[in-house]
């Protein structure tokens, strides 16, 4: 970037934190409860950014309109609620990124499509809740990403203009939301991306393969 950002915001799952191990464990535990064999971790990991409904579809080959879908969905959420910060960790290099931002008093926050009832306990479990300037979840807005409403809310909470801020994400909707808000955008290729080859077509301002690369770019 030509100048230091006024704020940096992160998507949560697949960008800031590697939450996939807990989803893998919970989905395979659920399959075990229904006498099904475990699925490969990488197969589950590729779907994590699409949410619990997509995981239920993967885990049980059920369409959302299927009679058993809602029951399986609720069951998975209950399992995850009890196990959401067991194996989840910040991605390698992200500890240094947050320390770099804080040393320069650049506010940072999380803008996610993960419901608040899961996001806040997870952030607290990672020791980040008191450190971040903003956490915006779909519960807080009328339109979730890729609509930019949540990003505008995050900017307001930290007192930074969208035009001077950066949004980092691992999904097309993250980049679309950031661009719609007028932010600089960074695509995290290390995240939960089914087809990394498609990332250039997202038209992010920058692409990183390791969280630590963000420091040099910022």
How far is Cα 182 from Cα 91, in angstroms, rounded to an integer? 26
Q: How many domains does the chain have?
A: 2
Which domain covers residue 98, as residue numbers? 7-18+88-217
Boundary-marking domain end, from 81, 99, 128: 81
Residue 106 sits in the same domain as residue 202 = yes
Q: Does 201 lie in the same domain as 133?
A: yes
Q: Which residues are catalytic?
A: 11, 13
Q: Are 57 and 64 in contact (CB under 8 A)?
A: yes
Q: Do residues 111 and 64 both lie within one domain?
A: no
Residues 6+ apart with CB under 8 A from 116: 135, 137, 139, 140
Domain assignment present for residue 1? The answer is no
pLDDT of residue 3: 80
Same domain assignment for residues 162 and 114 = yes
Residue 2 lies in a domain: no
CATH of residue 110? 3.40.50.1000
Instruction: Tell me if 155 is assigned to some domain.
Output: yes
Whether pTM > 0.85 for this model: the answer is: yes
**pLDDT tens-digit profile, the chain (218 residues):** 668 999 999 999 999 999 999 999 999 999 999 999 999 999 999 898 888 999 999 999 999 999 999 999 999 999 999 998 999 999 999 999 999 999 999 999 999 999 999 999 999 999 999 999 999 999 999 999 999 999 999 999 999 999 999 999 999 999 999 999 999 999 999 999 888 899 999 999 999 999 999 999 99
């Amino acid at each position: 970037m030509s100048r230091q950002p006024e704020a940096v915001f992160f998507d949560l799952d697949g960008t800031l934190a590697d939450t996939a191990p807990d989803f893998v464990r919970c989905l395979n535990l659920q399959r075990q409860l229904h006498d099904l064999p475990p699925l490969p971790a990488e197969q589950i990991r590729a779907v994590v950014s699409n949410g619990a409904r997509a995981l239920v579809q993967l885990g049980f080959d059920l369409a959302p309109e299927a009679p058993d879908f809602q029951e399986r969905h609720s069951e998975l959420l209950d399992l995850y609620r009890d196990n959401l910060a067991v194996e989840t960790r910040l991605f390698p290099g992200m500890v240094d990124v947050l320390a770099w931002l804080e040393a320069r008093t650049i506010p940072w926050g999380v803008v996610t499509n993960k419901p608040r009832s899961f996001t806040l306990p997870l952030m607290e479990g990672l020791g980040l809740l008191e450190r971040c300037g903003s956490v915006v979840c779909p519960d807080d807005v009328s339109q979730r990403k890729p609509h930019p409403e949540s990003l505008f809310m995050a900017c307001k909470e930290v007192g930074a203009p969208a035009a001077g801020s950066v949004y980092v994400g691992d999904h097309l909707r993250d980049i679309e939301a950031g661009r719609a808000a007028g932010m600089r955008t960074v695509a995290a290729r290390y995240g939960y991306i089914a087809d990394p080859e498609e990332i250039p077509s997202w038209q992010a301002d920058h692409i990183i393969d390791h969280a630590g690369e963000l420091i040099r770019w910022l």
